[in-house]
Each structure stands twice: as C-alpha cells, then as structure tokens.
Amino acid sequence: MSETVSLDTIRAGSSERSFPCDILPECQSGIAFFCAAFYGRNDVIHLFNHGVQDLWLNDMDEEKLAVMGEVFGVEAQLLPGDSFTIAKNLREKGGSFDLVLCDPFTNLMKRTLVDEYENFAGIACKWFVTGASGAMFAELGIEPTAPALTDWLRRQGHDDALVDRLVMRNSDYQNGVYWVVLKRPETLQERSG
Ligand SMILES: C[S@@+](CC[C@H](N)C(=O)[O-])C[C@H]1O[C@@H](n2cnc3c(N)ncnc32)[C@H](O)[C@@H]1O
C-alpha cells in the first residue's frame, strides 16, 4: 500500500459540509462508482465514517482502487472496470444497494444521470446520489433546482424520478458542481406512506 494514503490523509482532505451525510445512517449497503481519483475523499470516506457496512467500490483505475480496498478493508468488494458496463451488468442480474453513489468527472455527468439513468437508479433501493454541473443544467435548458430536474427527468420517461435536493460542492467551477440526491423506491414509499 502507498505509504502516503491512509484513512487519516483521506479524512484530512474531505468535508462533510458538501456531502449529504444525513442519508447515510439509513444505508446498510452502498456502491460507489467513479470513486478512486482522490481515494474516496469526496464520497467513500463519508460512507465509511457513517458505518455503511456492505461497501462496494468501482473505478477504472485499478491501482488506486486496490489501495482503497486496503485502506477501507473491502478488498473482496472491488469492481474494477468501466462503470457504465458494470452498472448495466448489475442491473441485469438484479443487483440492489441501499445507496448508489456516482462521482464522474463533469464530462460524464450527463451520461450518468440522464443517458444511463436506469442502470444506476435501477439498482438503488433508497438513494441515488450523483454529480451534476451548472454547465450540464444549461445544456438541458433548465434551472439548477430539484423541482426543475425532477420535472425534466419525468418528461424523459423516468416516472418515478424524485430529486430530493441538490447539494453545492464547488461554486467556482462550471457554474457550480452539485450532488444530486434522488429518492428511490424505499424512501419514496416512506414519503407517501
Ligand atoms: C471525480 S473522480 C472521482 C473522485 C472520487 N470520488 C474520490 O473522492 O476520490 C472521477 C473518477 O472516474 C474514473 N473514471 C472515469 N471514467 C470512468 C469509467 N468509464 N468507468 C469507471 N471509472 C471511470 C476516474 O478514474 C476517476 O477516478
């Protein structure tokens, strides 16, 4: 394992203020796609800190993913390779996680949230959290708000889409970079029940 990567160094670079940590206590299982560039500083560290027990990690960067496997103690739950292919395969096999988390670079945010929505959202029981940018909202022609994005996704045929909120991560890049927090069937049921 790289001597410079540890839970402490990852924690030191992370911030709970820019992540929807309040959803984590209700999540027993989670899968983090696109998770390795900063060894999970943006996201996986929060899942780990808040006790998401059954944690699966994906990235195409196999070396960094292997380091994360050791740091987070999940060597047996690494899924190296293309996120889009792996999500599609998991969905076809009936994969299911309380939380599905995606942190693609901005050039893949639209593909993840919009074009391949079914493959990521479709394996999330409680929450689907993914990235979006102000530039992406401009491309869709909508305001960066939860109601506008919910409405847009529903107009694309995703009838069960419900964006709970957007969380600002970085206001200085691409007219804002956000976490999009979407409710999935079990949290939708709680809401209506
Ligand atoms: C924004 S970074 C992720 C940062 C990470 N969440 C963290 O906190 O360290 C995006 C990641 O996507 C990965 N990536 C890019 N294209 C991918 C693809 N098609 N499949 C899997 N991973 C991909 C990159 O290797 C990079 O680690």
Mutate-to-test residue for ligand 1 from 34, 90, 103, highest number of ligand atoms within 8 A of CB: 34
CA–centroid distance, 39 to ligand 1, in Å, is 10
Residue with CA at minimum distance from ligand 1 atom 7: 40
DSSP string, 113-153: IIITHHHHHTTEEEEEEEEEEHHHHHHHTS-SSHHHHHHHH
Q: How does pLDDT run across 8-63, given as a tens digit for each residue?
A: 999 999 999 899 999 999 999 999 999 999 999 999 999 999 999 999 999 999 99
Token pair recorded at residue 66? 């292997």
How far is the CA of 164 from the CAs of 35, 47, 108, 146, 150, in angstroms? 22, 19, 22, 6, 9
Q: Is 114 left (phi over 0), alpha (psi -120 to 50) or beta?
A: alpha
Mutate-to-test residue for ligand 1 from 55, 105, 178, highest number of ligand atoms within 8 A of CB: 105
Q: How does pLDDT run across 156-187, given as a tens digit for each residue?
A: 999 999 999 999 999 998 899 999 999 999 99
Ligand 1 atom with the shortest distance to the CA of 43: 8
Classify burial at 108, counting beta carbons within 10 Å of its beta carbon; exposed 0-12, middle 13-18, buried 19 or more: middle
Contact by Cβ (8 Å): 106, 134: no
Over the range 164-190, which residues count as b (16 or more CB within 10 Å of their CB) and which as e? bebbebeeeebebbbbbbbbbeebbee
Q: How does pLDDT run across 72-101, given as a tens digit for each residue?
A: 999 999 999 999 999 999 999 999 999 999
How far is the CA of 185 from the CAs of 44, 112, 136, in angstroms? 23, 19, 26
Q: What is the mean pLDDT of the chain?
A: 95
> Model confidence at 193, in pLDDT bands (50, 70, 90)?
very low
- Give the phi and the psi of residue 165 in degrees, each rounded to 5: -170, 165
pLDDT attached to residue 1? 52
CA–centroid distance, 40 to ligand 1, in Å, is 10
Please indicate whether residue 35, judged by its CB atom, sits closer than 6 Å to ligand 1.
yes
pTM for the full predicted model: 0.96
Token pair recorded at residue 19? 């992540």
Token pair recorded at residue 16? 């709970």
Please indicate whether residue 112, judged by its CB atom, sits closer than 6 Å to ligand 1.
no
CA–centroid distance, 124 to ligand 1, in Å, is 19
Please indicate whether residue 14, judged by its CB atom, sits closer than 6 Å to ligand 1.
no
Task: List the CATH code of the domain at 7-192.
Answer: 3.40.50.150
Q: What is the C-alpha to C-alpha distance for residues 97 and 99, in angstroms, rounded to an integer? A: 5
Q: What is the C-alpha to C-alpha distance for residues 69 and 63, in angstroms, rounded to an integer? A: 10
Residue 2 has pLDDT above 90, yes or no: no
Q: Where are the domains of the chain?
A: 7-192
pLDDT attached to residue 174? 83
